Amino acid sequence: MSNNSNRPERPRLEPEIIPPRYGRRDGDWLEGGWSPYASGASGTQRIYFAKFGPFGLAMVMLVIGFVAAIVLLATVGALLIWLPILAILLAVGVVFRRQLRR
């Protein structure tokens, strides 16, 4: 009973950390599994982000305003379609209520 069950078990093997420049150079390891971002050439790919200038910011605001206007028009349109339907249902309800009272 010298085993202490409250202590966590230590890993048997330490993970090996390989710096990127010393990694595998051959493309054979990419063929074994599915890799959506792997290109045919070995090496790294970079993604560049550009800052928004005044024109880009104006275009983003224009698109946001356009989407907001479409949402507003769709909401008002749906309300304008349902208003006559609700008015007709209310009128039918009033007529039936009067008929049931008599």
Chain segment 64-99, per-residue pLDDT in tens: 999 999 999 999 999 999 999 999 999 999 999 888
Chain segment 8-56, per-residue pLDDT in tens: 777 777 777 777 665 555 555 445 555 555 555 555 667 777 788 999 9
**How far, in Å, CA of 71 to CA of 23, rounded?**
51
CA within 13 Å, CB half, 27: 10
Q: Which two tokens stand for residue 31?
A: 């063929």
pLDDT at 101 over 60: yes
Residues 6+ apart with CB under 8 A from 42: 25, 26, 27
